């Protein structure tokens, strides 16, 4: 998948987050941050950031796929 497609997908997903209630967003974010007992058993790194930030989601997703040397998101494509 090309970088443009990844950025486009991230923007589409962000629109879906805007439709969620604050309670739902907090539940998702706290699960990713492993603040709940059962979420500690979900494999992958602990999410550090905001679920509404494309950059934070990018870094977490890349980390979950095992990529440690992350390419930066182009500033013209970055939206928070």
Q: What is the mean pLDDT of residues 19-37?
A: 89
Count Cβ atoms within 10 A of the Cβ of residue 71 and give its class: 0-12 exposed, 13-18 middle, 19 or more buried: exposed
| Domain boundaries, given as residue ranges, for the chain | 19-64
Residue 54 near residue 73, CB atoms below 8 Å: yes
Mean pLDDT of 72-78: 51
Is this model's pTM higher than 0.75 or not?
no
């Amino acid at each position: 998948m090309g970088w443009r497609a990844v950025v486009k997908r991230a923007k589409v997903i962000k629109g879906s987050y805007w439709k969620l209630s604050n309670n739902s967003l907090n539940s998702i974010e706290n699960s990713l941050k492993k603040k709940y007992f059962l979420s500690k058993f979900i494999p992958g790194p602990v999410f550090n950031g905001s679920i509404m930030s494309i950059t934070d989601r990018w870094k977490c997703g890349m980390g979950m796929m095992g990529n440690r040397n992350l390419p930066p998101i182009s500033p013209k494509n970055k939206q928070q």
